[in-house]
């Protein structure tokens, strides 16, 4: 026994010495080579209109500045192509950097929309630096290409009424790692339609409340979701939901196999009919999730917030439009806007139906049939019936949810609204944008 103890102690000591040695070596390496605070290659693209906004017919120029280690690039070739967003030409043009600058004449647009410039150049180490920049032309005049069916409201009112006949039958599972003296977190599974279940991480501040409620629908795909303490720290009940009824507690490897088998191509599933389309139960299910939050005795009875990004941004608008309990919504770069855009040779919203760009956007039924269904699911039509205060944030370098499609939805909103546009952001948000959103929410709260 003593011999085993000595051997174990020697092994532990050896491991500790190895860790210490590696740490010392790492520190010496950092001391010798430094820890850069800036990128070796720095690039910025500056349009001649600071806000990236132009009036149709105005000419736009893009000034691209690049430096390596602080030295302006000289004689390096910049390749670029310019065209309507998502409809860039195949052929590249080129220009050389002089004094660290290259100027691209992007031309103009005669109709409201976005002009894009994709550019790239080779750095001295053989790598490629590249970016995508989009400029707006009279975006306030962008009109949706999606029609609104005469029975749009009646269709969704009936669907929600039927779903509300189904009891929630909540199933709770404690999440100890996200629970402490300040919050209680549980995974809840809800029956939100005749054959539809969704799951959500429900995090509640300790105490009797009352508290505002915040619903967060998920982005596209079928990845796992995770609890968050941001809104509970602000004194709100928060639920992040998952729309496919995928078990969140199984190991990641098994989850990935399961979700690929179960959810692949869900955004195209059942498109032949408005009643069979996959998103019908999802839209109604999100509205029912807000019903559930508002049924909690801890709810303050005054504030019911919906917020999310991408597909979650779309579901945010849809939920707030369908559920009369919603008091405000904050979508970020919403998907599913102006879905017929690509049929008109104009950028449409994710999943880019009719574009032929990639698998998720494939339409395998006659286009007329698909359009007839999608009119009931396009976010622009929910934007038209939205009545609650709305904060929307998006960027212009987004090639997932095109700014053309987002503007088409924004321009249909007649409810009180505020926007936060960061032209340089893509399919993500800056922390400052979220802070603006939260401050807006606080001002709206009753």
Residues 39-50 have a mean pLDDT of 94
Please confirm whether the linkage preceding 210 is cis (ω < 30° from 0).
yes
Measured CA angle at 382 (ends 377, 383), to 5 deg: 135
Who's near 297: CB < 8 A, 6+ residues apart? 209
Who's near 379: CB < 8 A, 6+ residues apart? 314, 317, 318, 334, 335, 336, 337, 338, 349, 409
**pLDDT score at 26:** 45
- The pLDDT tens digits of the residues spanning 150-205 come to 999 999 999 999 999 999 999 999 999 999 999 999 999 999 999 999 999 999 99
Kindly tell me if the per-residue pLDDT of 7 is higher than 60.
no
Q: Please indicate whether residue 344 is annotated as part of the active site.
A: no
**pLDDT score at 209:** 85
Kindly tell me if the per-residue pLDDT of 31 is higher than 70.
no
Residue 9 pLDDT class (50, 70, 90 cuts): low
**pLDDT score at 356:** 84
Residue 28 pLDDT class (50, 70, 90 cuts): very low
Task: Put the strands of the sheet holding 196-205 in their side by side order.
Answer: 171-174, 183-193, 196-205, 237-242, 211-216, 299-309, 328-332, 390-395, 417-422
Kindly tell me if the per-residue pLDDT of 372 is higher than 70.
yes
**pLDDT score at 29:** 44
Q: Please indicate whether residue 252 is annotated as part of the active site.
A: no
Rg (CA), the chain: 26
User: What are the beta bridge partners of residue 39?
Assistant: none
**pLDDT score at 171:** 97
Tell me the two tokens of residue 242. 């998952």
Residue 15 pLDDT class (50, 70, 90 cuts): very low
Q: Please indicate whether residue 360 is annotated as part of the active site.
A: no
Who's near 57: CB < 8 A, 6+ residues apart? 108, 110
Q: Which of 281, 398, 399, 420 is catalytic?
A: 398
Residue 39 pLDDT class (50, 70, 90 cuts): confident
Q: Which of 310, 355, 402, 408 is catalytic?
A: 310
Residue 10 pLDDT class (50, 70, 90 cuts): low
Kindly tell me if the per-residue pLDDT of 245 is higher than 70.
yes
> How buried is residue 5: exposed, middle or buried, by Cβ count under 10 Å (0-12/13-18/19+)?
exposed
Please state, for a pLDDT cut of 90, what percent of the chain lies above it.
Answer: 88
Residues 228-250 have a mean pLDDT of 96
Measured CA angle at 406 (ends 357, 369), to 5 deg: 55
Please confirm whether the linkage preceding 7 is cis (ω < 30° from 0).
no
Mean pLDDT of the chain: 92
Torsions phi, psi of 145, nearest 5? Answer: -105, 10
**pLDDT score at 379:** 98
Please state, for a pLDDT cut of 70, what percent of the chain lies above it.
Answer: 92
Count of alpha carbons within 13 Å of 175, Cβ hemisphere only? 20
- The pLDDT tens digits of the residues spanning 68-92 come to 999 999 999 999 999 999 999 999 9
Nearest-angstrom CA–CA distance, 76 and 357: 32
- The pLDDT tens digits of the residues spanning 423-440 come to 999 999 999 999 999 999
Kindly tell me if the per-residue pLDDT of 246 is higher than 60.
yes
Kindly tell me if the per-residue pLDDT of 24 is higher than 50.
no
Kindly tell me if the per-residue pLDDT of 34 is higher than 70.
no
**pLDDT score at 65:** 98
**pLDDT score at 13:** 52
- The pLDDT tens digits of the residues spanning 388-423 come to 999 999 999 999 999 999 999 999 999 999 999 999
Nearest-angstrom CA–CA distance, 234 and 213: 11
């Amino acid at each position: 026994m003593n011999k085993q103890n000595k051997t174990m102690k020697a092994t532990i000591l050896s491991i500790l010495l190895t860790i210490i040695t590696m740490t010392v070596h790492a520190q010496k390496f950092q001391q010798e080579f430094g820890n850069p605070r800036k990128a070796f290659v720095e690039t910025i693209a500056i349009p001649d209109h600071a806000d990236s906004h132009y009036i149709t017919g105005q000419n736009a120029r893009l000034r691209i500045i690049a430096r390596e280690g602080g030295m302006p690039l000289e004689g390096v070739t910049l390749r670029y192509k310019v065209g309507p967003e998502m409809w860039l030409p195949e052929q590249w043009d080129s220009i050389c950097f002089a004094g660290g600058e290259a100027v691209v004449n992007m031309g103009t647009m005669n109709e409201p929309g976005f002009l894009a410039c994709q550019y790239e150049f080779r750095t001295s180490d053989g790598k490629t630096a590249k970016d995508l920049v989009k400029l707006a032309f009279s975006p306030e005049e962008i009109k949706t290409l999606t029609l609104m069916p005469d029975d749009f409201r009646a269709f969704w009112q009936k669907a929600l009424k039927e779903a509300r006949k189904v009891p929630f039958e909540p199933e709770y599972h404690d999440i100890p790692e996200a629970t402490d003296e300040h919050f209680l977190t549980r995974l809840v599974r809800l029956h939100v339609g005749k054959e539809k279940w969704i799951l959500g991480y429900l995090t509640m501040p300790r105490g009797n409340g009352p508290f505002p409620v915040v619903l967060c629908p998920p982005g596209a795909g079928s990845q796992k979701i995770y609890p968050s303490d941001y809104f509970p720290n602000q004194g709100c009940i928060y639920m992040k939901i998952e729309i496919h009824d995928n078990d969140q507690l199984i190991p990641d490897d098994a989850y990935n196999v399961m979700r690929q088998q179960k959810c692949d191509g869900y955004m195209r599933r059942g498109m032949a009919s408005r009643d069979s389309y996959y998103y019908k139960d999802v839209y109604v299910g999100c509205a029912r999730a807000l019903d559930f939050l508002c049924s909690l005795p801890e709810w303050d009875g005054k504030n019911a917030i919906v917020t999310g990004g991408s597909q979650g941004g779309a579901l945010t608008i849809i939920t707030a439009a369908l559920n009369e309990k919603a008091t405000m919504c904050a979508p970020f770069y919403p998907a599913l806007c102006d879905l017929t855009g690509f049929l008109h040779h104009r950028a449409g919203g994710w999943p880019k139906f009719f574009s032929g760009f990639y698998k998720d956007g494939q339409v395998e039924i006659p286009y007329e049939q698909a359009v007839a269904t999608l009119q009931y699911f396009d976010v622009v039509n929910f934007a038209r019936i939205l009545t609650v205060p709305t904060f929307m944030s998006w960027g212009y370098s987004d090639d997932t949810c095109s700014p053309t499609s987002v503007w088409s939805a924004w321009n249909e909103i007649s409810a009180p609204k505020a926007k936060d546009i960061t032209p340089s952001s893509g399919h993500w948000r800056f922390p400052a944008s979220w802070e603006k959103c939260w401050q807006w929410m606080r001002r709206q709260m009753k």
